[in-house]
Amino acid sequence: MAGFTQGRYRHVTTIQTTDPRGLALTGIDAQGAETFESFINDSYYYRVGVQDRLDSFLLEQPAFGMGHVFKGYSLMSEGLASSHAKAATHLQMAQALPATPRERLHQEALRAWIAQDWRACGFAWEQILAKWPLDLLAFRQHTGTLFWLGGKRQQAQIAASVASHWGTEIPGRPHFLSAYSFAMEEIGHYAEAERAARQALESQPQDLWALHALSHVLEMQGRTQEGISLLEESGNFLNDYNLFRGHLWWHLAIFKYSTRAFDEVLELLDREIYPTSSSFYLDIQNGASLLLRLEAQGVSVGMERWERLAQGSLQTATQNTVWFTTAHQVLALLRTGRVSAVDETINYANAQGHSGSRRALLAAQISEAVVAGSQGQVQRALDSLLSLRHEFGLLGASHAQQDLYQHMMISAAMQLDDWPRIRQLLKERSIVRFWNPASLDQLDAFARQIDEFETAEQVRAELCH
Ligand SMILES: [Fe+2]
């Protein structure tokens, strides 16, 4: 349990204590440390109201530097340029306070994150984890940030580098396990990912991040019915949690899509995934990607749903910093005929790109291809996407989310009746499901089956898998 000591730092009396994993915390007493731990715990369990409670806590505990850093991290996680100034204010407050070397490194990570200096940001967190591998905040922020940078291998490397320190007796272990699980899943270590997710769920059956990692394993292994059962059961409690819940509902919709239950996908979209306009980047990604998938199946999704998405997109399209979102916003704006808003969104991404963000530039290029496709320049759109496709991973997101691009390219190739390209893309798409060398025979059989495809219905059925 956390202890309490009084120490001297820079000639002023500074309270210090430790967190449940034995790491020093400056400017707070043992009781405050317990409250801080509850914020971390609730935050990683996606419970509601954490930020309001944290704000009140910081008003009572203004000298708690890590509280300000945590608030800064939370603000940066919103993925909006408009949050940067608020995060910088909390950083300045933290920097003015006494701090340990570990806490200073957290400040450096936050500074670099605000500056969008990913190299320095990651380096600060890695320095922390090398010396303090049980720094849960550094581990979760580092792996979480890498997810949107396309750093799948790095996520797994970081998880592997601290794993031996997370013994069964360590407080907060489920939060390590759930992130470890997802990191392993995204590099294809499905058995290990499933083992870790199920261990985390033994501690907390409503752990949304562990359920999410397990959903990805089931998705990648084609275990559709298991995925539906898991998430339908979870539906009993999902809505007790914060907005991340929408992504779990999205995973259920993706499983339903696999069974071609398109009406149920739309019903989930309207009821749970995107019931009202939301500017939250994950909501927009979830909503737009489902509508695009359904359109690829020839389903008429209607204008009202795109309008809902466009309303949400309009609020943040020129503030967004999670570049995977941009093409989703552009799709919604295009479908509803908002030409000037599309231009503004792409101009914003291009401007960020020319200021040094490779991802923003890529997001602009993908969006320009989407626009070309919508204007009937399908060959140009396809050629552009094909030339960019090996960089798509830079925009982060999971394999399941990135499947949106495969849908875009295959749909365009189908419009052009370009069968060699359709077959090539379908084979490429299969690779995330064939990591295991033991399944290479399956891959070979699958590829030969694809070579026989000659109707749109066969392609559409395959896209559901
Ligand atoms: Fe996901």
> What are the structural domain ranges in the chain?
1-128
User: What does DSSP assign to residue 455?
Assistant: S
> 89 CA to middle of ligand 1, Å?
32
> 463 CA to middle of ligand 1, Å?
18
- Sign of the C-alpha dihedral, residues 118, 121, 124, 127? negative
pLDDT score of 440 more than 90:
no
Percent of the chain with pLDDT over 70: 96
Q: Is 434 helix (H, G, I), strand (E, B) or coil?
A: coil
Give me the chain's average pLDDT, please.
94
The Cα 381–Cα 409 span in angstroms is 8
Q: Is 242 helix (H, G, I), strand (E, B) or coil?
A: coil
Sheet containing strand 4-9, edge to edge, reads: 4-9, 12-18, 24-26
Q: Are 185 and 217 in contact (CB under 8 A)?
A: yes
**Which amino acid would we find at residue 23?**
L
> 214 CA to middle of ligand 1, Å?
10
Q: How many helices (H) and strands (E) does the chain have?
A: 24, 3
The Cα 143–Cα 151 span in angstroms is 8
| Mean predicted confidence (pLDDT) in 256-277 | 97
Residues 6+ positions from 12 with CB-CB distance below 8 Å: 98
Q: If pLDDT is split at 50, 70 and 90, which confidence band does 31 have?
A: very high
| Mean predicted confidence (pLDDT) in 397-411 | 94
Note the pLDDT of residue 14: 83
| Mean predicted confidence (pLDDT) in 287-303 | 96
Note the pLDDT of residue 237: 98
Note the pLDDT of residue 13: 62
pLDDT score of 4 more than 50:
no
pLDDT score of 434 more than 90:
no
Element (H, E) at 360: helix 358-374
> 150 CA to middle of ligand 1, Å?
14
The Cα 435–Cα 188 span in angstroms is 6
pLDDT score of 1 more than 50:
no
Residues 6+ positions from 379 with CB-CB distance below 8 Å: 416
> 104 CA to middle of ligand 1, Å?
32
The Cα 282–Cα 285 span in angstroms is 5
| Cβ atoms within 10 Å of 445's Cβ, excluding its own | 11
- DSSP secondary structure letters along 289-358: HHHHHHHHTT----HHHHHHHHHHHHHHTTTB--GGGHHHHHHHHHHTT-HHHHHHHHHHHHHHHHTT-H
User: Which two tokens mark 363?
Assistant: 């997001």
Note the pLDDT of residue 12: 47
Q: Are 423 and 388 in contact (CB under 8 A)?
A: no
Q: Which of 28, 457, 114, 434 is nearest to 260 (CA)?
A: 457
Element (H, E) at 246: helix 245-258
> 99 CA to middle of ligand 1, Å?
36
Q: If pLDDT is split at 50, 70 and 90, which confidence band does 437 have?
A: low
Q: If pLDDT is split at 50, 70 and 90, which confidence band does 9 have?
A: very low
Note the pLDDT of residue 436: 63
The Cα 419–Cα 152 span in angstroms is 32
> 251 CA to middle of ligand 1, Å?
7
pLDDT score of 5 more than 60:
no
> 27 CA to middle of ligand 1, Å?
37
> 136 CA to middle of ligand 1, Å?
21
> 345 CA to middle of ligand 1, Å?
25
> 397 CA to middle of ligand 1, Å?
8
> 400 CA to middle of ligand 1, Å?
7
Note the pLDDT of residue 445: 85
> 426 CA to middle of ligand 1, Å?
21
Q: Which of 26-35, 156-165, 210-219, 455-464 is predicted with the least confidence, judged by mean pLDDT?
A: 455-464
> 276 CA to middle of ligand 1, Å?
21
| Cβ atoms within 10 Å of 243's Cβ, excluding its own | 12
Note the pLDDT of residue 82: 94
Interval 361-378: pLDDT, tens: 999 999 999 999 999 999
> 42 CA to middle of ligand 1, Å?
20
Note the pLDDT of residue 435: 63
For ion ligand 1, residues whose CB falls within 5 Å: 398
The Cα 214–Cα 180 span in angstroms is 11
> 14 CA to middle of ligand 1, Å?
43
Q: Which of 271, 286, 308 is nearest to 401 (CA)?
A: 286
> 238 CA to middle of ligand 1, Å?
15
